Structure 1
Amino acid sequence: MTATENQMTGAEIVLQALKDNGVEHIFGYPGGAVLPIYDEIFQQEEIQHILVRHEQGAGHAAEGYARSTGKVGVLLVTSGPGATNAVTPLQDALMDSIPLVCISGQVPTTLIGSDAFQECDTVGITRPCTKHNWLVKDVNDLARIIHEAFRIAQSGRPGPVVVDIPKDVQFAKGTYVPPEKHKIQTSYQPKTEGNPHAIAAAVELMANARRPILYTGGGVVNSGPEATRLLRELAALTGFPVTSTLMGLGCYPASGEAWLGMLGMHGTYEANMAMHDCDVMVCIGARFDDRITGRLDAFSPNSKKIHIDIDPSSVNKTVRVDVPVIGDITKVLAEMVSQWKGLVTTPDKARLAEWWQGIARWRARNSLAYTPSNDVIMPQYAIQRLYEASKGKDTYITTEVGQHQMWAAQYFGFEAPNRWMTSGGLGTMGYGFPAAIGVQIAHPDALVIDIAGDASIQMCIQEMSCAVQYNAPVKIFILNNQYMGMVRQWQQLLHGNRLSNSYTEAMPDFVKLAEAYGAVGLRCEKPEDLDGALAEMIAVKKPVIFDCRVANLANCFPMIPSGRAHNDMLLPDEATDEAVANAIDAKGRQLV
């Protein structure tokens, strides 16, 4: 590229920088402050723009795209309300470590600070919900900043970044610098190599453990497929049981012998009891979230704790650990496996026999059991049948947030990473559907299913228009219980059964709603009809809303009530207190 050739307008620089960073899709919504960029999008064919119906949808779609591919998701929004509508997905991505680059338009530099039309302090507003952000005031800085944005978003602990570009900078001419020639910001250099002495100390603890556990999280998924392979190798070498956070599902196969299931508030009895009673805990790419730890002063009270994480700020933030290892999960696990294989005396797995016998007794408790019904579809049964119907297919699952999310985590077995997209940290209702569109755009031939609730799905239902426009055959599988299910469950069990505003009376006809958008609507109310309806849903090559009518008052168990320890769980057959027995609906009608 000659000196003359690399002279471009700011808008042209944006498109060239995106292309040079491997971008193939952008999710966005136009507005006055980004029209120069949209004009450039119109004049090229290498990058496809996906027109969403709300900027929140753009952010969640970019999240789904990123989580399912391992690439950076990109969204493009205008100034003012365009940027503020993107705040929710930016915070969601920050908490769940999803790499996003958000490009936002801004009013011209001469108008900044004058309360101009559709002006807001985007950098100030997004500073707390991004890894980094920039306001570009000089077009000659634009290419460097965009390249740096991609580097920061996907390196270290991944996360979202914002590049705010005033409209006059988009029109101005400047010099384009390709990625290989841009100067790397030396102040940001994530540490990826784990300290070998710290790893040796961890291996020594593990070798002497009698009641160990591998506690895995989303960091394993983020580190890439090699991290997943190494985790599975480590589990096989050591004979340790494996559990996972909500975000880590799939990094160890659900069919694996060492798998205990998910842990935490709605985790399995065996996973939580093992976490409570372990003597050595190896935390790999998780952050000791409150949904996992329960009561902090009673969390794994007698264990030595090892924490492997690329983010130093996550270590000793919530739980004090004995051996911190800062580094990329793949590199640390590779060294850990190597050191384990190099031990002078390989630890005998027989020393864990008593531990596994205890785990077998906890497993026999069958904490995911529920009472089946021939009259009404139980939500747990619906997820089990959906899992069986999708077996052997190239399947990706997203969820909204609530009971359905927990049931999906409990009953849908994930064998591989990057197949499970959900809002873990922020718990964003409305996440699942636009995320599913992002996944479908990235994997056009895959089966993409958003497991939803009747309340959550209405948060971003307008994105059905986007799905239809781009022929994205996403399946929305609604567990319709007429309630904000998780809210109702907490009100029932923790607030004297006072069901305040958790019942929805003006529920739409989801079949007609799907048809109004040009999609397909299906409804199922009887257990015996479910398998046939699921087969029909999967066979349709168009977006589908499947209205699965499930038991209204089914609760999600096991459950660790707020403020309780892991060994103080509420199990299904113990939830027979007066509040449950006397449950009533919003109109005072007896329901059980």
Structure 2
Amino acid sequence: MSSGSNITPSVMPAHPPQREKTVHDSDAQAVPGPNRVVEPTKMTGAQAIVRSLEELGVTDVFGLPGGAILPTYDPLMDTSRIRHILVRHEQGAGHAAQGYYLATGKTGVAIATSGPGATNLVTAIADANMDSEAVVFITGQVGSKLIGSDAFQEADIVGITMPITKHSFLVRRAEDVPQALAEAFYIANTGRPGPVLVDITKDAQESDMEFSWPPVMDLPGYRPVTRGHSRQVRAAAKLIQEAKRPVLYVGGGTMRAQAAEELAELAKLTGAPVVTTLNARGIFPDDDPQNLGMPGMHGTVAAVSALQMSDLLVTLGARFDDRVTGQLASFAPLAKIIHADIDPAEISKNRIADVPIVGDVKTILPELSDQLRASFAEHGSPDLTEWWDIVNKTRETYPLGYTPTDDGLLAPQKVLETLSEIAGPEAIYVAGVGQHQMWGAQFIEYNRPNQWMNSA
């Protein structure tokens, strides 16, 4: 995903993703997957890795074999029903696992050996962390007695990736394999999705152990909050009731939460303009008249000006990224902020929230809609006619467009517009990073979630 590529986004047939179930407070720390009971069976740690992945429901993995992970490749290739997709570089395995998560909703899995194999995953791990993608990275490590000795192809991959993972495990004993993998999948998929690294020593893979399933998970202190605080939801509803120029500022967290239906309900209830960031394209249909398009430095004039003139930003799963805000001091200067996000670290990180709501957007939005219905029934729905007159005038005066060519050659924007018309709403678009990515985000029409895959 190198910057500056000139390749246009590729198109492939649609396979609507089925997202994995979000684990809520009521069933916290339940082992992911089918959870069938497996009686103790003697096997090696390498066999336990493969068996654990099977029990977790994994059907596809991406990887490149090497010395420290070779013991795991024997059962993976000989006896497992898991499909292994061989790549030519470990970074490719990581990016493929990211795309797998985006396309299917299932946790991506990338496998690499120790040392250079593991460090080649770092770019993909960082990217998955920034874009909130559930991917488990499994790496081989030198023997446990060699750790710290600068052994052949030894690298402290746990230490290297600590700032860019939700969590990292170093497994030195075969008997710890099932628990580490079960916890890795749970952490990757709950709360804000993200990457988890499981580094497993070669002797742990080769040693014998008693495998049983499910393991007992022990994650003290890890309790993702999913339900928004009712007092904060009521405060948010009050601000929306009073607002004259509200905007729904929708980010990629809303996409990760699979909250398209809940967002549509809130948008229709409020009647407010909607802007969707790069990672949220398609979560609210482009053909809906309330959608002003993408905000920020590559966004539409209507979206940017609506944010700047607003008196209330209802921020849903967005992080006030610099590509959206520009100089924070001058961004939406008159707006109060409602900020709902599952990651408490994002709230008030860049812009102070007047009403912070920590929780799963999919859970928060129906609660907010219920509060608004009650408030509107008592006080009447806000009249946004004057606000929409301003917004629509801006949209009509400064439509998204480009200068047509006069040399007989096709403009890239025209190519993508035509591709969008021909491919229709069932197409999925995949882009790298660069100018072609911006053209793809601007000039292709997205009317359903998970239609647009790229790195933000």
Is residue 207 of structure 1 aligned with residue 244 of structure 2? no
Write the distance in 1 (CA, Å) between the matches of 2:38 and 2:108. 31
User: In the alignment, what sits opposite 1:279?
Assistant: 311
> Following TM superposition, by how much is the alpha carbon of 1:382 offset from its aligned partner in structure 2, in angstroms?
1.1
More off after superposition, 339-348 vs 23-32: 339-348
Q: Within 5 A, what are the aligned runs for 1:80-159? A: 80-159=115-194
User: In the alignment, what sits opposite 1:407?
Assistant: 439
1:340–1:346 contact (8 Å) kept in structure 2? no
Q: Within 5 A, what are the aligned runs for 1:351-500? A: 351-373=383-405, 375-392=408-425, 394-424=426-456
1:239–1:349 contact (8 Å) kept in structure 2? no
Write the distance in 2 (CA, Å) between the matches of 1:308 and 1:75. 31
User: In the alignment, what sits opposite 1:220?
Assistant: 254
Is residue 330 of structure 1 aligned with residue 362 of structure 2? yes
1:27–1:58 contact (8 Å) kept in structure 2? yes
Pick closer, same or farther for the CA change 1:75–1:113 going to 2, 3 Å: same
Partner SS, residue 222 of structure 2: coil
Deviations 1:185-226 (A, max 9, x none): 1221101110010000000100111100000011111112xx
2:241–2:381 contact (8 Å) kept in structure 1? no
Given candidates 110, 125, 133, the residue that maps to 1:75 is: 110
More off after superposition, 398-407 vs 169-178: 169-178
Deviations 1:208-245 (A, max 9, x none): 11100000011111112xx1100001101110110011
Q: Which amino acid aligns with 1:377?
A: L
Deviations 1:72-95 (A, max 9, x none): 110001101111110000000000
Deviations 1:168-193 (A, max 9, x none): 100111232423x4224122110111
RMSD: 1.4
Partner SS, residue 364 of structure 1: helix
1:310–1:326 contact (8 Å) kept in structure 2? yes
1:33–1:166 contact (8 Å) kept in structure 2? yes
Is residue 37 of structure 1 aligned with residue 72 of structure 2? yes
User: In the alignment, what sits opposite 1:186?
Assistant: 220
Sequence identity (%): 46
Partner SS, residue 345 of structure 1: helix
2:182–2:217 contact (8 Å) kept in structure 1? no
> Following TM superposition, by how much is the alpha carbon of 1:67 offset from its aligned partner in structure 2, in angstroms?
1.2
1:219–1:284 contact (8 Å) kept in structure 2? yes
Write the distance in 2 (CA, Å) between the matches of 1:369 and 1:154. 39
1:65–1:73 contact (8 Å) kept in structure 2? yes
Given candidates 274, 277, 280, the residue that maps to 1:248 is: 280
1:275–1:300 contact (8 Å) kept in structure 2? yes
Write the distance in 2 (CA, Å) between the matches of 1:69 and 1:243. 25
Write the distance in 1 (CA, Å) between the matches of 2:401 and 2:140. 52
Q: Which amino acid aligns with 1:336?
A: L
> Following TM superposition, by how much is the alpha carbon of 1:68 offset from its aligned partner in structure 2, in angstroms?
1.8
Given candidates 334, 339, 346, the residue that maps to 1:314 is: 346
2:172–2:203 contact (8 Å) kept in structure 1? no
Write the distance in 2 (CA, Å) between the matches of 1:75 and 1:183. 22
2:38–2:212 contact (8 Å) kept in structure 1? no
> Following TM superposition, by how much is the alpha carbon of 1:348 offset from its aligned partner in structure 2, in angstroms?
5.0
Q: Which structure 2 residue ranges, 5 or more long, are not aligned?
A: 1-36
Write the distance in 2 (CA, Å) between the matches of 1:344 and 1:235. 14
> Following TM superposition, by how much is the alpha carbon of 1:45 offset from its aligned partner in structure 2, in angstroms?
4.3
User: In the alignment, what sits opposite 1:233?
Assistant: 265
> Following TM superposition, by how much is the alpha carbon of 1:365 offset from its aligned partner in structure 2, in angstroms?
2.3
Q: Which amino acid aligns with 1:20?
A: E
Q: Which amino acid aligns with 2:195?
A: P
Q: Within 5 A, what are the aligned runs for 1:172-183? A: 172-179=207-214, 181-183=215-217
Partner SS, residue 94 of structure 2: helix
2:241–2:382 contact (8 Å) kept in structure 1? no
Considering Cα pairs closer than 8 Å and 6+ residues apart, tell me whether 1 or 2 has the greater RCO.
2
Write the distance in 2 (CA, Å) between the matches of 1:43 and 1:197. 56
Pick closer, same or farther for the CA change 1:2–1:272 going to 2, 3 Å: closer
> Following TM superposition, by how much is the alpha carbon of 1:2 offset from its aligned partner in structure 2, in angstroms?
7.1
Q: Which amino acid aligns with 1:16?
A: R
Q: TM-score, normalised by structure 1?
A: 0.69
Given candidates 156, 163, 172, the residue that maps to 2:198 is: 163
Is residue 9 of structure 1 aligned with residue 41 of structure 2? no
Write the distance in 2 (CA, Å) between the matches of 1:337 and 1:267. 28
Q: Which amino acid aligns with 2:228?
A: G
2:244–2:382 contact (8 Å) kept in structure 1? no
Could you say which structure has the larger radius of gyration?
Answer: 1
Write the distance in 1 (CA, Å) between the matches of 2:376 and 2:138. 54
User: In the alignment, what sits opposite 2:7?
Assistant: none
Partner SS, residue 263 of structure 1: coil
1:156–1:311 contact (8 Å) kept in structure 2? yes
